[in-house]
Amino acid sequence: MHIDILTLFPEVFPAFLGHSILGIAQEKGLVDFRLWNIRDFTQDKHKKVDDRPFGGGPGMVLRPEPVFRAIEEVEKEVPGTVPPRKILLSPQGTRFNQSMARELAREPRLMLLCGHYEGFDERIRQGFDFLEVSIGDYVLSGGEVPAMVIIDALVRLVPGALGDEFSTVSESFSEMLGEPPVLLEYPQYTRPREFRGMSVPEVLLSGDHEKIRKWRLEQARLRTCQRRPDLLRE
Ligand code: ADE
């Protein structure tokens, strides 16, 4: 999977992309990220990426020229591969969820366009076939954190990214780990068995894997009912 990230702040990504599951997925060659600075695609001497909105009003708007140039050049950059599925991050987009993550995790190539300032010149939306995605009903100062959220959710679904230990577990618990209906996770415990008067449920110490599996599924359903009944209706 190839992921191109178009942003005005590429320097905020490397630490995030280089660690944990994302870092391992890159080392294993399952995914590769390329960062592109939209400013590098300007052609004026001041490298201007934004401008005041026509009609007045507060804030600045991302100019169409550098964004069009960036998208068109990055698209050509990897010859022989399929055109990327293009994602525009904005609070106006379709709400991101686990089923969108599953769908996008199957794409061989993605391009994420992060905005900043007040928004994008509308012709950017008109010029390309974007999937416009929001990570929730709040306004962030840019699309960088949303891009990281989406990347994190997707890459852990790429086969092999989580390692054997986890994938075997996920097979027996697909209901809890991504197949609809998605359930919230069951309660987890580690050592010690007793901590400040609170003990680990007996069933988890029983060694009876079938009993443990049933208990976990029951707990996951209970938790989902209590905390997020909306997930059961999706
Ligand atoms: N850019 C700013 N806020 C956003 C949000 N909630 N989701 C996606 N992109 C954004």
Please report whether residue 143 resides in a domain: yes
142 with 234, same domain: the answer is: no
Contact at 8 Å (CB) between 219 and 187? yes
Angle between helix axes 20-27 and 144-155 (nearest 10 degrees) is: 60
Q: Are residues 100 and 216 in the same domain?
A: no
Q: β-strand 61-62 against 50-51: which pairing, if any?
A: antiparallel
User: How confident is the model over 152-192, as pLDDT tens digits?
Assistant: 999 999 999 987 545 544 444 445 555 566 899 999 999 99
From 155, 179, 203, the end of a domain falls on 155
Same domain for 93 and 9: yes
102, part of any domain? yes
Q: 192-227: string of b/e by CB count within 10 Å (b at 16+)?
A: eeeeeeeebeeebeeeeeeebeebbbebbbeebeee
Verify that 173 and 151 share a domain, yes or no: no
- What pLDDT is recorded for position 106? 95
Are 119 and 70 part of one and the same domain? Answer: yes
Q: Are residues 13 and 88 in the same domain?
A: yes
List pocket residues of ligand 1, CB cut-off 6 Å: 89-91, 134-136, 138-140, 143, 146
Report the CATH number that the domain containing residue 13 is assigned in CATH. Answer: 3.40.1280.10
- Measured in angstroms, how far is the CA atom of residue 121 from the centroid of ligand 1? 16
Tokens for 138? 């709040």
Q: Is 161 part of a structural domain of the chain?
A: no
The pTM score is 0.91
Cα-to-centroid distance, 209 and ligand 1 (Å) = 42
pLDDT of residue 52: 96
Residues 150 and 72 in one domain: yes
Nearest-CA residue for atom 2 of ligand 1 = 140
CB 61, CB 51: distance < 8 Å: yes
Q: Give the pLDDT score at 176.
A: 55
Q: How far is CA 12 from the centre of its chain?
A: 16
- Strand (E) or helix (H) holding 36: strand 32-37
Q: Please indicate, yes or no, whether residues 95 and 202 belong to a single structural domain of this protein.
A: no
Query: By residue range, what is the domain housing residue 178?
Result: 169-234
Is 163 part of a structural domain of the chain? no
pLDDT band at 213 (very low <50, low <70, confident <90, very high): very high
What is the distance in A from the centroid of ligand 1 to the CA of 132? Answer: 10
Distance of alpha carbon 92 from alpha carbon 8, whole angstroms: 20
Q: How far is the CA of 146 from the centre of ligand 1 (A)?
A: 6
162 part of a folded domain: no
Taking only the tens place, the pLDDT of each residue in 14-65 is 999 999 999 999 999 999 999 999 999 999 999 999 999 999 999 999 999 9
Residue 231 Cα distances to 97, 124, 171, 183, angstroms: 11, 34, 21, 7
Q: Give the three-state DSSP class for 223.
A: helix
pLDDT of the residue at 142: 96
Task: Check whether residue 31 and residue 114 sit in a common domain.
Answer: yes
**What CATH number did the domain enclosing 208 receive?**
1.10.1270.20
24 and 140 assigned to the same domain: yes
Same domain, yes or no, for 205 and 234?
Answer: yes
147 found inside a domain: yes
Q: Is residue 211 part of a domain?
A: yes
Residue at 100 is within a domain: yes
Burial class of 17 by CB neighbour count within 10 A (0 to 12, 13 to 18, 19+): buried
pLDDT in tens, 93-149: 999 999 999 999 999 999 999 998 779 999 999 999 999 999 999 999 999 999 999
Residues 110 and 18 placed together within one structural domain of the fold? yes
Structure tokens at 12: 């905020």
Separation of alpha carbons 151 and 222, rounded Å: 30
Atom of ligand 1 nearest to the CA of 115: 1
- How many structural domains does the chain have? 2
State the chain's maximal CA–CA distance in angstroms: 70
